[in-house]
Structure 1
Amino acid sequence: MPALPSLPFPPPAVLLPGNLRRRIGERLEHFRVPDFTVPAALAKLAGRLPQQPPTMALTLALNLALDRILPRDTLAPLNGRHLQMRVLDAGLRLDFTLGDKGFQRAAPAAGDGKPDLVISATTRDFIALALREEDPDTLFFSRRLRMEGDTELGLLVKNTLDAVDWDALKAKLGLGR
């Protein structure tokens, strides 16, 4: 039996009726990430678990953005550099690098070997950054976002994220206002 042709699938926002889509859009427009901290018991447990699954989720998300909203040529100085993202209240240390095939998990720094760049914040602050609710400079100067190591790499990451046209991305996904 021949395979059925696949139909294009509309963006999720198009599937909602107009009134519901408008109401959800209005609520999301005014949504603010609430202040929260991952409970200490959960953070202690997460810190003992293998870090590979959350690192793989992070690198998958970064690879989906690579060349779509994160220009590879701008990120060239990150090639082969060991980066670490520390989610302070969740006990996570996510080690990754950028290679020819995109972002991938990097072996954690052993002994006195340190990552080239460490970016640290709480879960809430990383979510707020991703949603563009908080500005990296504001978090940095209020000491809620820390960068250690090669500050030139840190500035590159910050400036690349600042240069992303998030409104154009929302419009492309059918989420524009």
Structure 2
Amino acid sequence: MQNPATPAYRIPEPLARVLGRLPRYPGSVLFVTGLNLVLARHLHPDTLHMLEGRSLRIHVADAGLRFDYTWRDGAFRAARHEVAAPDLTFRADAWDFHCLLQRREDPDTLFFSRRLVIEGDTELGLMVKNTLDSIDMAVFQPRAVLRDVAQVLRQRAEALIPSGARRQYSSRV
């Protein structure tokens, strides 16, 4: 939980104005790349089935940033939710999202203190919250993230090398 002596950090207003003017889609592409590299492999198949085709948004209120995405065809994908509201939106300040990821704050505490706002499909929101609560946060530690990224890059590189060439290369090494 957050130490009352430690003030919550807020993105400075001049920086928030600049960040809020950035186009959403490229940021969402970067966001889902991170989700796919770090989080997707740790999600239960039932959760992924419930997420299929659902539109989601993370809104970092004090930074003016919105990341729109969906789960489709086995991966998180960037989306554009400009016409209709997403099925689910999580809105909080950057510091509160940081505290959630570090498990310094409980989502229920943030929700009831109105520092975390969940809008949209209640059942979907509860499922996402409970899923995130159940994930071992060690997967977000830099060493684990770098290990996961290296594994994905190795798999992709191996997929590009024809199997005959792969056997020839591995016999030389």
TM-score normalised by L of structure 2: 0.72
Q: Pick one of 85, 101, 106 that aligns with 2:58.
A: 85
User: Is the partner of 1:103 in helix, strand or coil?
Assistant: strand
Distance 1:169 1:59 in 2: 15
1:142 and 2:142 aligned: no
Q: CA RMSD in A?
A: 2.4
Quick one: which amino acid aligns to residue 55 of structure 1?
S
1:29-75 alpha-carbon deviations (Å, 9 max, x no partner): x9x98621111121111111112232222212211234532223323
Quick one: which amino acid aligns to residue 79 of structure 1?
E
1:40–1:169 Cα change, 3 Å:
closer
In the alignment, structure 1 segments of 5+ residues that lack a partner are: 1-29
Q: Which residue of 1 aligns with 2:132?
A: 161
- The answer as to whether partners of 1:95 and 1:108 remain within 8 angstroms in 2 is yes
Distance 1:33 1:50 in 2: 33
In the alignment, structure 2 segments of 5+ residues that lack a partner are: 145-173
Quick one: which amino acid aligns to residue 75 of structure 2?
G
1:88-129 alpha-carbon deviations (Å, 9 max, x no partner): 00001111000113101111221xx21111110000001111
How far is the alpha carbon of 1:166 from its aligned partner? 3.2
The structure richer in helix per residue is 2
1:44 and 2:44 aligned: no
TM-score normalised by L of structure 1: 0.70
Distance 2:137 2:95 in 1: 20
**Which 4+ residue blocks in structure 1 deviate beyond 6 angstroms?**
none
Q: Pick one of 93, 99, 118 that aligns with 1:122.
A: 93
1:49–1:135 Cα change, 3 Å:
same
Q: Which residue of 2 aligns with 1:99?
A: 72
